Amino acid sequence: MKNCIANCKLQILNFKFSICILQLIVFLGLPSQAQAVWKELTPKQFLEAMEYGQKEKDKAMVDFAREWTVNLGEQVGWATLYTPFHSLAYKARKAAVEHRELTEKEIKKALGDGETLTFSATILCDALYYTRQRPSTLHQGEKVVASSYEFLPDVCENSNFFPESPAYMASCVYRFPHKDLSLEAPITLVIITPTGEERLFPFDLSGIR
């Protein structure tokens, strides 16, 4: 009898959680169909992102974010694209690790404005100071889009190879408007390193959630 009551209570809790999620989806105005899988999430994709974050919470971050990351090598650098799916999954993972519920504010922030592409990048180099150069860019065919926002550290950190080369690493963030780009075709992120060199990260958007 006690087991039956416990099972009933669990079913009620699961039902209430599903209702809350559906209410949140309606409140946020999520589209019933998305133009691109990772630009605007459908209710189904929204729940899939939440589930991915919660179920894979024990994965190492490098494995968790592998779908959205281009790695040029441990001595060169890597870049990660934060799509709405990836951002929501990441926040769901963080909340699960901290044994708490994901807040409405966190969900809204994860879904973003739908107008920009956000990348984080770690660049390995031998320069202690980051010399500001021309903006980083996104390339797609003949189209070139300059970054609308960049966070670049003034001073680079010691890398895992310090004092050997590459001795330093820079953790950066970039945002790009995507109104002139196809969100279902390959793009190349071109980052300017602390020493002014170009570093290319190719992303195939068609294969990214």
Q: Please give the Cα distance from 34 to 41 (Å, whole number).
A: 6
- Look at residue 24 and tell me whether its pLDDT is greater than 80: no
pLDDT grade for 193, boundaries at 50, 70 and 90: very high
Q: Please give the Cα distance from 120 to 62 (Å, whole number).
A: 13
pLDDT grade for 206, boundaries at 50, 70 and 90: confident
Write the pLDDT tens digit of every residue in 32-48.
443 443 567 889 999 99
Q: How far is CA 60 from CA 18, 90, 107, in A?
A: 28, 12, 22
**What's the predicted TM-score (pTM) here?**
0.79
- The token pair at 17 is 């959680």
Classify each residue of 130-142 as buried b or exposed e, where b means 16 or more C-beta atoms within 10 Å of its C-beta.
beeeeebbbbbee
Closest listed residue to residue 184, CA positions, set 70, 83, 36, 79: 36
Write the pLDDT tens digit of every residue in 119-145.
999 999 999 999 877 899 999 999 999
Q: What is the mean pLDDT of residues 189-201?
A: 94
* Backbone phi, psi, residue 15, to 5°: -65, -45
Alpha-carbon dihedral 130, 133, 136, 141, rounded to 10 degrees = -140
Write the pLDDT tens digit of every residue in 65-96.
999 999 999 999 999 999 999 999 999 999 99
